[in-house]
Amino acid sequence: MPYLILSDVHANQEALEAVLKDASGLYDRVLCLGDLVGYGADPNYVAEWMRQNVAAVIRGNHDKVCVGLDPLEVYNPAARASAEWTRAALSPENFAYLEGLPRGPLRFDNFDLVHGSPADEDEYLIHAGDVESLRDWLDAPLTFFGHTHVQGGFLLTRGGIRRIFPGMEPILQLEPDHYYLINPGSVGQPRDMNPRAAYAIYTPEVRTVEFRRARYNVARAADKILEAGLPPSLAARLHEGT
Ligand code: ZN
- Nearest C-alpha neighbor of 184 from the set 147, 146, 214, 156: 146
User: How far, in Å, is the centroid of ligand 1 from the Cα of 7?
Assistant: 8
Mean pLDDT of 7-13: 98
Counting runs of H as helices and runs of E as strands, what totals does the chain give?
A: 8, 12
Confidence band, pLDDT 50/70/90 cuts, at residue 98: very high
Q: What is the pTM of this model?
A: 0.97
User: How far, in Å, is the centroid of ligand 1 from the Cα of 127?
Assistant: 17
User: How far, in Å, is the centroid of ligand 1 from the Cα of 8?
Assistant: 4
Spatial separation of the C-alpha atoms in residues 9 and 216, rounded to whole Å? 13
User: How far, in Å, is the centroid of ligand 1 from the Cα of 52?
Assistant: 21
User: How far, in Å, is the centroid of ligand 1 from the Cα of 186?
Assistant: 7
What are the φ/ψ torsions at residue 111 (nearest 5 degrees)? -135, 170
User: How far, in Å, is the centroid of ligand 1 from the Cα of 176?
Assistant: 30
Residues with CB under 5 Å of ion ligand 1 are: 8, 35
Spatial separation of the C-alpha atoms in residues 85 and 89, rounded to whole Å? 6
- For the cut 90, the answer to whether the pLDDT of residue 156 exceeds it is yes
Across 168-235, where does the E strand assignment appear? Answer: 171-173, 179-183, 197-203, 208-214
For residue 135, the model assigns a pLDDT of: 85
